[in-house]
Amino acid sequence: MKITIARLRSGTNYTGTPLLDIMDSFYELFFEYMNKNNKNDYGVYNFGWNAPNRKKLDDIVDADVIVVPSENEFQWHIKGYRHTNEMQRSNEDVKKIGKYLKNKHLVIFRSDRADNEELFRKKTFKGFSIGRFSILDEMDIKGGIHAMKYHFIREIYKPKRKKWDFIYWGCDKRKNADNKSSNDERHLILKQIKDDAIVRSYLIGNYSPPRLRDEKIQKMRDLIPTLSSGKSTICFNWLDPYATTSRYHESLACGIFPFVWKDYDKKNTIVASKFQRISSVEEFYEKLPEVNERFSEVENHYLTRTLKSKDLYYKQFSKKLNTILHY
């Protein structure tokens, strides 16, 4: 069996130094998988393992399985989100891959619930036939695959004085891939916190309106010093009230108290206490003074109930991937 890992949009060179890409939890585990399953052949497209991004189609043409790491494919279908020329060039490259998918098994490593099968079949590869289709979701790993990032961050983390009462990194999610309202509330919450100016806030990423942003998004490794100076953040659901997000793991690793919005992690798989749950900005303001004394409670719950070793994450990942590949 030949398995080719292919980036559809931006190219990636995974050097083995994590926190440079949103998907590096997947990359780290897939790299280990390749080393321990050498009966397979492996290829790359628009990707490199400590090597320049290799953008040749030969490893697509003769692959049995094409693995696509996908963290925000849906954004490429929102009008105005990307520059027109960038989108046209990227879509042309995607079409080159599409014509070879008829008899392939397409496996999505997914870090955003909006990147679903319908999106890839009806939008990304519209007009092309796809053979088998599978998803290995971040939540297929107990507690979330991005708990790996707690390990990554703590390997280089240094505590800092808290400069910001509230810090947020990422983007708003006002529209879905159909260019309709997603009904996601985070842009309203972030705007209110920024406009109220009751607490010291710092926003990193892409937002509408752009004035909300204090800093452009950077690689996580470069953001850690800034994030570590934040006292609290809010974790929001995206499409699934039972899911968790990378931000929860990242925030605890950076010494940031993670509030959660409404029914985030509805079954409390990683959320430690009712205190973390908020349903209004006013409730956030009320609870903020207590986060210093509450942080250790939440972190200890995470360390004893949620976080596992890298070896255990690999075992879960390997088992799930083998099931998808029908070993």
Fold match, 2-142+309-324 / 148-306 = yes
Kindly report whether the global pTM for this prediction surpasses the value 0.85: yes
- Over residues 282-301, mean pLDDT: 98
> What is the band of 264 on the pLDDT scale with cuts at 50, 70, 90?
very high
- With a cut of 80, say whether residue 20 has pLDDT above it: yes
pLDDT tens, position by position, 220-242:
999 999 999 999 999 998 889 99
- Over residues 62-79, mean pLDDT: 95
Helices (H), the chain: 24-36, 58-61, 84-98, 117-119, 148-154, 186-196, 220-227, 246-253, 281-287, 291-301, 310-324
**Per the omega criterion (within 30 degrees of 0), is the bond before 209 cis?**
yes
Going from the C-alpha of 293 to that of each of 22, 135, 177, 261, 290, the distances in angstroms are 31, 40, 41, 20, 6
- Over residues 13-37, mean pLDDT: 97
pLDDT tens, position by position, 116-134:
999 999 999 999 999 999 9
Per the CB < 8 A criterion, the answer to whether 75 and 34 are in contact is: no
Q: Which amino acid is it at 133? A: F
CATH number of 148-306: 3.40.50.2000
Domain boundaries, the chain: 2-142+309-324, 148-306
Q: Which of 40, 174, 140, 90 is nearest to 5 (CA)?
A: 40
Task: Please count the residues of the chain.
Answer: 327
Q: Which residue has the higher pLDDT, 70 or 238?
A: 70
Per the CB < 8 A criterion, the answer to whether 114 and 177 are in contact is: yes
| 230-258 burial: b if 16+ Cβ within 10 Å, else e | bbbbbbbbeeeeebbbbbbbbbbbbbbbb
Task: Decide: residue 300, CB within 10 A, 0-12 exposed, 13-18 middle, 19+ buried.
Answer: exposed
Residue 39: per-residue pLDDT: 94
> What is the band of 275 on the pLDDT scale with cuts at 50, 70, 90?
very high
Per the CB < 8 A criterion, the answer to whether 125 and 6 are in contact is: no
Q: Which residues contact 286 (CB under 8 A, 6 or more apart)?
A: none
Distance CA 71, CA 21 (A): 10
> What is the band of 327 on the pLDDT scale with cuts at 50, 70, 90?
low
> What is the band of 47 on the pLDDT scale with cuts at 50, 70, 90?
very high
- C-alpha R_g of the chain: 20
Tokens found for residue 142: 């107990």
- With a cut of 80, say whether residue 138 has pLDDT above it: yes
- With a cut of 80, say whether residue 209 has pLDDT above it: no
Q: In this structure, which topology does domain 2-142+309-324 adopt according to CATH?
A: Rossmann fold (3.40.50)
Residue 210: per-residue pLDDT: 76
Percent of the chain with pLDDT over 70: 100
